[in-house]
Amino acid sequence: MQKQKQEELKRMFDENARDAKTIERLMVETFHSQRRDILSSKEMEDLVKEWPFLFQENGIQLHFRELTGVDITLNFDESTETKFKRILRYFQFQQSDPTNTAGAVLSQTLAGGDETCAAVLMLLAHFREKQEKMLVAVDDTAIASEVDVKNLPSTPCIVACGNSPLTAKTFMVAVDQVIVNEQLPIFTKALQFMFCSYYVQNIDYPVEIAATLEFLQRLLDSEMT
């Protein structure tokens, strides 16, 4: 029965089905099969093929909800925007040198860059952590097949299509050096997807960006619990 439901999900994905209620029902009913395959150390490419909806925005949110009991979508955009603005204001009051990384991020943000992304970049700079372990910029016209995945970290990361993640118009998320979603329109959606990926794929935070991720998790936990 589980295999039949899995095959039905694959068929619906291939046919670009829009029956959201049926997809949600089948995703919930096959949750344990999804967990089994994730924890069996299957290759990421195989997981994407076997459970394509798991790597769509709604699908990973459903799995996260079943796994943690938390609906990550509740107030996520609004709460992160509010809290990240506070982070930016804090760093602005520090009067960052415009010649250093933090100062350059603030300058670009004031010129119209994405504030949520700026807050994340500022935290990475503050903790002296490696931006490339979380955020990688590629050409603004790049598609998934054109990304040199060998240069991506093995842990979940955001791929920004543009010269800077602050001004990118499209985002992808990669896990285990595999692009698992290439259709995220704003940074906040990509950030949410990346966080879900850590939980869903049972991956520990890499030490190179652990302080930033743990800080962000604490911000989000207060809204998601």
Q: What is the pLDDT along the chain (225 residues), one digit of tens a residue?
A: 899 999 999 999 999 998 999 999 999 999 999 999 999 989 999 999 999 999 999 999 999 999 999 888 876 776 677 888 888 878 777 655 554 566 666 666 655 678 888 889 888 988 999 999 999 999 999 999 999 999 999 999 999 999 888 889 899 999 999 999 998 999 999 999 999 999 999 999 999 999 999 998 887 776 554
Q: Examine residue 150 and state whether it is found in any structural domain, yes or no.
A: yes
pLDDT at residue 160, as a whole number: 96
Considering the domain boundaries, does residue 204 fall inside one? yes
Residues 107 and 21 in one domain: no
98 domain-assigned: yes
Per-residue pLDDT, 106: 67
Identify whether residues 179 and 125 lie together within a single domain. Answer: yes
Q: Are residues 128 and 42 in the same domain?
A: no
Is 66 a domain residue?
Answer: no
Question: Could you tell me if residue 164 is inside a domain?
Answer: yes
Question: Are 115 and 209 found together in one domain?
Answer: yes
Whether 30 and 85 map to the same domain: the answer is no
Label the pairing between strands 170-175 and 178-184.
Answer: antiparallel
Boundaries of domain holding 201: 76-224
Number of domains the chain is built from: 2
Is 69 inside a domain boundary?
no
30 lies in the same domain as 111: no
Has residue 47 been placed in a domain?
yes
Q: What is the pLDDT of residue 102?
A: 64
Of the candidates 225, 159, 168, 143, the one whose C-alpha atom is nearest the C-alpha of residue 197 is 159
Query: How far is the C-alpha of 37 from the C-alpha of 33, rounded, in Å?
Result: 6
3-state helix, strand, coil in the chain (%, to 5): 60, 10, 30
Instruction: For residue 65, tell me if it sits in a domain.
Output: no
Task: Give the tokens for residue 63.
Answer: 């799995």
Residues 6 or more apart in contact with residue 44 via CB below 8 angstroms: 175, 176, 177, 178, 180
Asked whether residue 103 falls in the same domain as residue 160, the answer is yes
